[in-house]
């Protein structure tokens, strides 16, 4: 495996989260956890090693912008390039555009 994706989702009412790790090359779930911290990435790397994988061979990991994922990937997959998922990039961009619109609306006179 050379490319993986990491992310989390809520399992119930936005309070209980699960982290999921996927193999992007064969599009299958590799690992899941009820945690979403840096240790979760370490646990995934250990699980991967336990199943014959080599964390040093990982070339790319796509994840959201959680600091825990970024630090975990940097520590556990030293040769992997980190990319961020489109959903979170678009969310940040849309939020910035909304902020600018709000500020402009405050200073613009309307007839």
Whole-Å CA distances, 53 to 49, 75, 86, 89, 102: 5, 16, 27, 30, 49
What's the sign of the alpha-carbon dihedral 8, 20, 87, 83?
positive
DSSP E strands in the chain: the ranges are: 3-12, 16-23, 28-33, 60-63, 81-84
pLDDT tens digits along 82-97: 999 898 899 999 999 9
Please state the pTM of the whole predicted model: 0.79
Q: How confident is the model at residue 1 (pLDDT cuts 50, 70, 90)?
A: confident
Please say if the pLDDT value at position 29 is more than 90. Answer: yes
User: Looking at residues 11-30, what average pLDDT do you find?
Assistant: 86
* Domains of the chain from N-terminus onward: 3-85 (3.30.420.10)
């Amino acid at each position: 495996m050379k490319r993986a994706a990491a992310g989390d989702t809520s399992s119930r009412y936005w309070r209980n989260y699960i982290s999921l790790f996927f193999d992007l090359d064969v599009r299958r779930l590799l690992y899941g956890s009820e945690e979403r911290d840096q240790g979760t990435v370490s646990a995934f790397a250990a699980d991967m090693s336990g199943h014959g994988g080599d964390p040093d061979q990982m070339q790319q990991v796509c994840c959201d912008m959680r600091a825990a994922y970024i630090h975990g990937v940097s520590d556990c997959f030293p040769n992997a390039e980190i990319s961020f998922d489109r959903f979170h990039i678009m969310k940040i961009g849309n939020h910035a555009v909304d902020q600018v619109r709000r500020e402009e609306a405050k200073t613009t006179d309307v007839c």
